[in-house]
Copies of this chain bind each other. A is one copy, B any other.
Amino acid sequence: MPGYSARPPAMATTLVDDQLTRVIRWDFEPGAATGHHTHGMDYVVVPLTDCHFLIEDESGERRVQVAAGESYRREAGISHNVINGGTSPMSFIEIEYK
């Protein structure tokens, strides 16, 4: 399709997966995306780099900037696609609560 360019996939690396928790490292080149997904567990995100998030969800598209280390918690049930909307690689750790 002329002008069409698929987003590259973000890379997921599982660091811990046991009875208590799953810990995944996510690495995004500029423009990379997780793909649309729904969180089945409560989770915390720890940004390893400054993150320029481009979020796609049912309400549309929005940009959110989070500095390295600015960790936050979210509830199960969130559905979205998470994209590196910046011009540098970005990485974060996702901690899921089983």
By a beta-carbon cutoff of 8 Å, the part of chain A in contact with chain B is 15-16, 18, 20-21, 23, 25, 42, 44, 46, 48, 68-73, 91, 93, 95, 97
Contact = CB atoms under 8 A, between A and B. Distances in A.
B18 A95 contact: no
18 contacts: A15-B70, A15-B72, A16-B71, A16-B72, A16-B73, A20-B42, A20-B73, A20-B97, A21-B44, A21-B73, A21-B97, A46-B93, A46-B95, A48-B68, A48-B69, A69-B91, A69-B93, A71-B93
The count of identical subunits is: 2
Closest 3 CB pairs of A and B: A46-B46, A16-B73, A46-B93
Contacts of A21: 44, 73, 97
